[in-house]
Amino acid sequence: MRVAVDIGGTFTDGVATLHPQGRIWVGKTPTTPSDPGEAVSTVIGDLLRQVAESMGDAAPPLGEVLHGTTLVTNTLIERKGAPTGLITTVGMRDALDIGREWRYDPYDLDIVLPQPLVPAPWRVEVNERIGAHGEVLEPLQDADVEAAIQALADAGVTSVAVSLLHAYMDDRHERRIEAAIKERLPNMAVSVSSSLAREIGEFERTSTTTANAYVKPIVTDYLRQLEARIGDIRRGIPLRVMVSSGGFTSAQAGADSPIMLLESGPAAGVLSALNTARQNDVRQVLAFDMGGTTAKACVAVDGEAPIAHSFECARVERFKRGSGLPILIPSIELIEIGAGGGSIAYCNRLGLLNVGPESSGSVPGPVCYGRGGKRPTVTDADLMLGYLNPANFLGGEMRLDIEATRACMARLGEELGMSAEAAAWGICNVVNENMASAARIHIAERGYDPRDLSMVATGGAGPVHAVDVARKLRIPRVLVPIAAGAGSCLGMLAAPARVDRAWSNPQLLSETDWNQVARVLSELKREGEAELASVGACDVEWRIGAEMRYYGQGAEVPVSIPYADVDAGTGAAILAAFEAQYQRLYGRLVPNARPQVTTWRLVGKARTEGCHFEWGDMRATGGAKPAGSRSIYLPLRGAYGDVPVHDRYSLPPGARLHGPLILEERESTIVVAVDADVEILPDLTVSVTIKEFE
């Protein structure tokens, strides 16, 4: 038995599956912000109970736990990390303040720039220098190292980042400093740039290293405690953690490089959508994952999610590029929208309706949860519009307070000068339009037409809003997979083991030292093989990637080829891939230009054909249940109307229905408020083909 657990901003989800049969059981509980591991333990315990009730003595033992968490993201956003110091090359201590010397909003006279995670007094310099080609220009002196370590010990830091100039070319000085720290201060957490981001870009590389150091003690303690809690269930159960690039690795690797876990939850949601698309032979998808705090979207083609190798976190202005901390790690390329079930609605100074990005979270949560929330949220609006059943939320385990929701919505409506019902639809419509607008740009930037895509919706709130968002985008088809409310967990269970490595060495392709490239990539492959072996991965596919451009250009084009022994022939293969991609992106090649590789990449990923999932309990085999009905808001008619309500899993594969309608399940609700054809596919995925766009 394998168990996957994902900690979200509002709920912690879990799925247990029998491998390789694919039978699943689902658990969900409110997230416990003060001790996230408490909710994880609760979910795992609930899942084990469910399996035992279903299978009795035939229940297999727990063999593996996969985990995704927002702990790294939250620590960086809330600035609650460990006291962190930085050791860098003389003259580079202010790089974190200087950054790229540009303003993300040139017209804001009161602009707030992101503050470095390491304050200036805790940044110390050593007198050394490695050249841009890896030559030692200034040797490192032991006395300088000792003085730097003593200064940080006196400052009381508990974690140290080491980022020296051009260490991506030669890391000997960084390794000496790391060894000295571990010898002198064995309990000090150490993060080294050449292990985390062996790439050009001193500011970005140093920012990544300090972010890793900032969260490392906290994540290490958290994973250690979580392993202990799992050990209380059964000793020796391995803990695996999701990484942002869409794979998983060992808990030890996650503790060593916690910055790699930054986007683990959103990455798992995309993998769940891709698994559903693969099972139903869909090539082009928009993965749409909406939970309690945020919504995410990602365009993926031919079963592969696009990977970005740099992005920002902890932005001062959430949607303004340049207002956050740059991070150099591989991550599934997606957009995040500040819209979730817990997003708070309010009347702004101009008397207009605004929704988000502030969220009620799990504590106190939406008003209807009855836990002290006072301000209306998207979930409250969904309840008011009839989309949610107050008596059947989480299968009836959690009753929603409709009267409290009506009262808070009436107060908001009074501020806006409209009825409570109009305010509720305003919230829902604003959120859906915000998500559609962001997704529209994301799709266009990648050169696709929304009408050629299918949307795959996951997350607790995703199926509630997906059809209306798709209608606004003119996406004709929406797929909602089995157990969509815990989609991120299904993504983890379908995820391969994966490692990513990088090495920057800007060279013209015609002048590349192929012996050097072969040696470095072989070393990186050996490192990756050891990490993959620690999680039992086999049948690994390796690929060589490169960031390429024409000499003199400022932006790179990523390309990738299958791994093979590196020699001059590798250059021809890389060049062909670059020219094909450049032609696709820009329509033409640059005559007489000289191609250049700035960064080499190596990716190792266990092969996977996807996973088939089916219910382990009796919810999908209990026979057809009589359909009920309730009044919901129909947006294209501008009025409420009665629609049929079905228990989703009482409908057998092949069943065909016609919207408007509601399909209810324990973890989510599928809302089809427009004219549409609805079909239950063989894997119990719900397919909604929209017929009404205006």
- Number of residues in the chain: 694
User: Above 90 in pLDDT, residue 290?
Assistant: no
> What residues contact residue 20 under an 8 Å CB cut-off, 6+ apart?
none
pLDDT band at 267 (very low <50, low <70, confident <90, very high): confident
The tokens describing 337, both together, are 């929208």
User: Above 80 in pLDDT, residue 448?
Assistant: yes
- Could you tell me what percent of the chain has a pLDDT over 70? 97
Summarize the confidence of residues 622-636 as an average pLDDT.
78
Q: Report the CATH number of the 498-606 domain.
A: 3.30.1490
Write the DSSP symbol of residue 93. Answer: T
User: Above 60 in pLDDT, residue 513?
Assistant: yes
CA 255 to chain centre: 18
User: Above 80 in pLDDT, residue 68?
Assistant: yes
Beta bridge partners of 686: 480, 680
Summarize the confidence of residues 282-294 as an average pLDDT.
87
548-602: pLDDT as tens digits: 999 999 889 999 999 998 988 899 999 999 999 999 888 899 999 999 999 999 9
212-254: pLDDT as tens digits: 999 999 999 999 999 998 888 888 889 999 999 888 888 898 9
Q: Which pLDDT belongs to residue 131? A: 93
User: Above 60 in pLDDT, residue 622?
Assistant: no
- Average the pLDDT over each of 306-310, 415-419, 546-550 and give the range with the smallest value: 306-310
Contact, 286 vs 443, CB < 8 A?
Answer: yes
Q: Which pLDDT belongs to residue 313? A: 84
Q: Which pLDDT belongs to residue 69? A: 82
User: CA separation (Å) from 548 to 221, 383, 511, 555?
Assistant: 40, 51, 14, 8
pLDDT band at 518 (very low <50, low <70, confident <90, very high): very high
Write the DSSP symbol of residue 357. Answer: E
Local structure of 311: helix, strand or coil: strand
Q: Which pLDDT belongs to residue 58? A: 86
Contact, 583 vs 574, CB < 8 A?
Answer: no
Summarize the confidence of residues 523-544 as an average pLDDT.
89
The tokens describing 613, both together, are 């999932």
Q: Which pLDDT belongs to residue 362? A: 66
Contact, 487 vs 665, CB < 8 A?
Answer: no
User: Above 60 in pLDDT, residue 624?
Assistant: no
User: Above 80 in pLDDT, residue 359?
Assistant: no
Burial of 561 per CB tally in 10 Å (0-12, 13-18, 19+): middle
CA 507 to chain centre: 33
DSSP 188-226: SEEEEHHHH--SS-HHHHHHHHHHHHHHHHHHHHHHHHH
pLDDT band at 415 (very low <50, low <70, confident <90, very high): very high
Summarize the confidence of residues 107-113 as an average pLDDT.
87
| Whole-angstrom distance, CA of residue 298 vs CA of residue 443 | 8
| Whole-angstrom distance, CA of residue 462 vs CA of residue 484 | 8
The tokens describing 202, both together, are 């001193």
DSSP 639-669: EEEEEEEEEGGGSPTT-EEEEEEEEE-SS-E
User: Above 90 in pLDDT, residue 180?
Assistant: yes
- Average the pLDDT over each of 325-339, 386-400, 456-470, 647-661 and give the range with the smallest value: 386-400
User: Above 70 in pLDDT, residue 387?
Assistant: yes
Q: Which residues of 333-353 are buried (b: 16+ CB within 10 A; e: fewer)?
A: bbbbbbbbbbbbbbbeeeeeb
CA-angle at 329, arms to 72 and 185, nearest 5°:
60
Cis bond upstream, residue 558 (ω within 30): no
Q: For strand 248-250 and strand 239-242, is the pairing parallel, antiparallel, or unpaired? A: antiparallel
CA 566 to chain centre: 33
| Whole-angstrom distance, CA of residue 606 vs CA of residue 455 | 26
Residue 261, φ and ψ in degrees, nearest 5: -90, 5
> What residues contact residue 588 under an 8 Å CB cut-off, 6+ apart?
none
- The residue extents of the domains of the chain are 2-75+221-261, 84-215, 343-429, 498-606
Contact, 206 vs 161, CB < 8 A?
Answer: yes
Summarize the confidence of residues 275-303 as an average pLDDT.
88
User: Above 60 in pLDDT, residue 384?
Assistant: yes
pTM higher than 0.75: yes
pLDDT: which is higher, 400 or 34 = 400
Burial of 589 per CB tally in 10 Å (0-12, 13-18, 19+): middle
Q: Which pLDDT belongs to residue 648? A: 87
- Average the pLDDT over each of 169-183, 351-365, 543-557 and give the range with the smallest value: 351-365
Q: Could you tell me the sign of the dihedral formed by the alpha carbons of 441, 445, 449, 452, in that order?
A: negative
Q: Which pLDDT belongs to residue 626? A: 60
- Average the pLDDT over each of 142-146, 255-259, 353-357, 580-584 and give the range with the smallest value: 353-357
Q: Which pLDDT belongs to residue 124? A: 96
Write the DSSP symbol of residue 377. Answer: B
Q: Report the CATH number of the 2-75+221-261 domain.
A: 3.30.420.40
Q: Which pLDDT belongs to residue 620? A: 62
Question: Measuring CA to CA, which residue among 9, 75, 70, 5 is closest to residue 40?
Answer: 5
pLDDT band at 396 (very low <50, low <70, confident <90, very high): low
Mean pLDDT in the chain?
89
